[in-house]
Structure 1
Amino acid sequence: ASQDRRKALSTIAQETKALTPSVSASLDHLNTTLAISFSLDTLAPLSPTKCPGFALADAPDKLGTVIRVVDSDSFDAALSMPSTVLRVPAPDGISATADSSMAVLEALKSHARCPENLNPTTAPRVAVLNMASEKNPGGGWLGGSTAQEEALCYRSTLAASLNKAKFYPIAAHAGLYTRDVVVLREEMGKGHGLLDGIKEEGGEDVGAKRARLPVVSVVSVAGLRHPAVKGAGDIEAGEGSAGSETTKRKWDGKGKGKEKKTKVKKSQGPLIFANPSDRKLTKDKMRLCLRIAANQGHTMVVLGALGCGAFKNPPGEVVACWSEVLSESEFGGGWFAEIWFAVLDRRREGNFEIFETALDGKV
């Protein structure tokens, strides 16, 4: 069954790849193949003078950003975000048409203390975090893999902008920004059905249909790949401790070997990064996500459980890092109308509950 699913998804990937040039050509005011690389080392911290200054809905005299956690596909969250946050009629997301963006922009202006700081092009458009592979554009999407990056690529034109020769491997402090990403399909749970207007069929002008396709922006940042972890209460095993001792024999290639005894740690408590440098780098990656999104004028952002899937980062630590970064003064003052964390937990591994408990409703 797993092989069949991979084969089916690989077919979806090839179809998406084949359709992307045609769809992009119909929307010539967009550039779906363009991505820009940013580095935390050269991207200046956000300047408070450029902040839109969004006020809290339940405390209009206070500036800030409310965080929500949703058990959802990242693109589905992004498509529903403008209508949910701003209560404007855009239930299927913001398309590239001026009419679609204008209603959202006007609503944003009414919530911002400094509306002159809003970018008319990108402020109405949701920015989505792609939890990327630093090695391969789109991760394993062409082979039918099912992590978050692959899910985004199956559904959209994203992969066309991820240029392997130009950007990969993605450096530890770098991220990619794709301003124009057109959503082509429904999510996997709905069978990846093509949205209306993708196939060139008779009837209404295909260009008019494609102009109504949802458009988002994507920030691609890679989580750490299989970082060393330990229990928060790990102790070195010693004499009389609850730990144990193991014996390994190191062979010399001549059939002889020496016994080597090693102390074993007893793992206690939730998993955390074993190396403080990994925790620091994770927070730097999170700062980069937020800095790129705000720097490019986005006011609504969909983030995620960075590195908590195939890369096996400890969820409790990742959510704590997000909480700490979001509390930093650089990102305060109302840069974003809202921030959502899309934590799709189909396997019920507990990541959604961890994020919901720690972040949902936080200001």
Structure 2
Amino acid sequence: MPENTWKPGEIASEAKKIYLPRIESEYPHLPPSILYKDLPKLPAAGDSQCPKSKLLVAVIDKDPVDAALKWHEENAEGSKIAVKAIPVVSMANEGRPGGDWEFARKAQEEEICRRSNLARALTSTSKDSHYLIPSTGGIYSPSVGATQQHTVWEKFKCLPIISVVPVRRPKLNEAGTEYVFDEEKELMREKMRMVLRIAAHQQHKEICMGPFGIGPGMLNPAPLVATMWREILFEEFHGVFSSVVFAIESATDSYLRKEASTVFNVFKEEFDPSNIVRTQHR
């Protein structure tokens, strides 16, 4: 079926009837999701033996799930030992597992749910319900069965998903470039930190994410969010991770408030080596 004829509701219906039962049949003992209401702060300097420049960051024009699956395949190729899967960061709905994935909404979490069992994984728990997700909390789903984007579901691969709720529709200045309220800016930072704390707590050294908190329904300022990610990764969490990939599809990138560039280009520029490794020539 051509990609442009696909309707989200039809894909969701097919997933519920055919593919979710297949995933549950093929993977009957997937571990339950874990709700993190809070996690202790990591040491400010991370591993003192690992300099800031040790962290590698790439900004690529690709879907995050596809990127994480391919990345894991490349890591595992030729390896004689099990290689840890790459977690994908999902912009979660705080009240409903998967948000409006069964309907027409095309936000990131919903799109992931239409190609995986994430919606069910978010409610798989041996304890109480994970919802509502706390404001600065998150859910770690250790093993979500997923398939490549816009393909017939012939083969599933498992990957972890980190689900955290971004700040939605903060009050911005007239130019749309800065938060009016410091509380909303700091809340966004704390949510970003929670993403990284969950990954670190689960001993992941590599992470794949899209433009967390940016897009329709979010309205966080992309240039500022990109800067915040750079500061948090290279200052607060330096030495904790080895590689971080921001996978941002430019073809579907239709939002950047009052800016001519795409979100992809904003992140590409922010993580240019000249902005990370400073020299006397700057």
1:317 partnered with 2:206: no
Residue 35 of structure 1 corresponds to: 33
Q: With structure 2 as the length reference, what TM-score do the two structures score?
A: 0.81
Runs of at least 4 residues of structure 1 off by over 4 A?
47-51, 360-363
> Offset at 1:83?
4.9
In the TM superposition, what is the alpha-carbon distance from 1:36 to its structure 2 partner?
Answer: 1.2
- Equivalent position of 1:351 in the other structure: 263
Residue 177 of structure 1, aligned match among 135, 140, 143: 140
Q: Shift of residue 75 of structure 1?
A: 0.4
Amino acid at match of 1:39: K
**Residues 48, 347 of structure 1: alpha-carbon distance in 2 compared, 3 angstrom cutoff:** closer
Letter in structure 2 aligned against 1:194: W
- What is the DSSP-based 3-state SS (H/G/I as helix, E as strand, rest coil) of the residue aligned with 1:166? coil
Letter in 2 for 1:45: K
Structure 2 segments unaligned to the other structure (5+ residues)? 255-261, 278-282
**Matched residues, percent identical?**
29
Give me the whole-angstrom Cα distance separating, in 2, the residues matched to 1:195 and 1:79: 15
Amino acid at match of 1:186: Q
Determine which structure has the larger strand proportion and give its number. 1
Give the TM-score taking structure 1 as reference length. Answer: 0.64
Residues 82-97 of structure 1 correspond to what in structure 2 (within 5 A)?
Answer: 82-83=72-73, 86=75, 88-89=76-77
Tell me, in whole angstroms, the C-alpha distance in 2 between the residues paired with 1:348 and 1:89.
32
Question: Match for 1:25: what amino acid?
Answer: S
Q: Does the Cα contact within 8 Å between 1:141 and 1:150 map onto a contact in 2? A: yes
Answer yes or no: is 1:9 the counterpart of 2:5.
no
- Give the conservation status (yes or no) of the 8 Å contact 1:287–1:325: yes
Whether contact under 8 Å (1:126, 1:302) holds in the other structure is yes
| Distance in 2 between residues matched to 1:145 and 1:29, nearest whole Å | 30
Residues 287/50 of structure 1: CA separation in 2 closer, same or farther (3 Å cut): closer
Q: Tell me the secondary structure at the aligned position of residue 138 of structure 1.
A: coil
Residues 104/64 of structure 1: CA separation in 2 closer, same or farther (3 Å cut): farther
Q: Structure 1 pair 46/309, CA: closer, same or farther in 2 (3 Å)? A: same
Deviates more, 1:75-84 or 1:315-324: 75-84
Q: Could you tell me how far apart the structure 1 residues matched to 2:21 and 2:205 are?
A: 29
- Following TM superposition, by how much is the alpha carbon of 1:347 offset from its aligned partner in structure 2, in angstroms? 4.0
- Residue 325 of structure 1 deviates from its aligned partner by 1.1
Matched, 1:155 2:115: yes
Which residue does 2:56 correspond to in 1? 66
Q: How far off is 1:278 after superposition?
A: 0.8
Which string of whole-angstrom CA distances, capped at 9 and with x for unpartnered residues, describes residues 109-152 of structure 1?
A: xxxxxxxxxxxxxxx11111001122322122100221111121
SS, match of residue 309 in structure 1: coil
The superposition leaves residues 79-103 of structure 1 with CA deviations (integer Å, 9 ceiling, x where unpaired) of: 122355x4x528xxxxxxxxx7x54
Partner of 2:160: 217
Deviates more, 1:20-29 or 1:299-308: 20-29
Instruction: Note the alpha carbon deviations across 1:217-266, whole angstroms, 9 max, x for none.
Output: 000011111111114xxxxxxxxxxxxxxxxxxxxxxxxxxxxxxxxxxx
Give the corresponding residue for 1:340: 245
Q: Match of 1:322, SS? A: helix
Are residue 137 (structure 1) and residue 103 (structure 2) matched? no
Pair member with larger Rg: 1
Judge conservation of contact 2:46–2:238 (CA < 8 Å) in 1.
Answer: no
Count of residue pairs the alignment pairs up: 260
Q: How far apart are the structure 1 equivalents of 2:121 and 2:73?
A: 28
Q: Distance in 2 between matches of 1:22 and 1:163?
A: 18
Tell me, which stretches of 5 or more residues in structure 1 are unaligned? 57-61, 91-99, 106-123, 197-212, 232-266
Q: Which amino acid aligns with 1:35?
A: S
Partner of residue 226 from structure 1, selected from 169, 179, 196: 169
CA drift at 1:29: 4.1
Q: CA RMSD in A?
A: 2.9
Counterpart in the other structure of 2:196? 290
Aligned-pair distance for 1:354?
0.4
Distance 1:161 1:337 in 2: 27
Quick one: distance in 1 between partners of 2:33 and 2:163? 10
Letter in 2 for 1:146: K
